[in-house]
Amino acid sequence: MSQLMQNSDDTQFVDFCKTTDYKGGVGQVTKFYIKADKVEEYKAFMAQHVARAVKEPGCISFSLHADYARSDVFWVTEEWDTPGAIVTHMNTEWFLNNFITTVPGFVEGNLQIGFYLLNAVEPESKKKDCHKKCSK
């Protein structure tokens, strides 16, 4: 049986990012349950948020994805090159004055959030012949 993916709350992860000696990349995946009448407004707002985030220093990737089964569920995936980069992102004027104040009006219920360290194992895909191996 599945369990919630929450492995930390925002405060614990931010504290980790502010105090860790870890120098590698970090990531976050968040599952948003959006009010049915707010889906289009949420998508428009998130298009602005994603466009800003991908331009920030240290952003490796930042994307909004639709759930395969529910039209009111969205997944945000983001990866940053260091813990400090995600902390900087969460302290931008846009994040504090727009994201934090606007998104709660779209959300129904609780978010599910998972935080992780990047590249715990060196992926095979980094090898030159990745496409040959991946297509088999």
C-alpha torsion sign, points 15, 18, 23, 24: positive
> Could you read off the pLDDT of 64-76 as tens digits, one per residue?
999 999 999 999 9
Residues 80 and 115: their CA atoms lie apart, in Å, by 11
pLDDT attached to residue 122: 65
Residues 131 and 127: their CA atoms lie apart, in Å, by 9
Kindly report the pTM of this predicted structure: 0.82
- Segment 77-96 shows an average pLDDT of 96
Contact 71, 34 (CB under 8 A): no
More confident: 10 or 100: 100
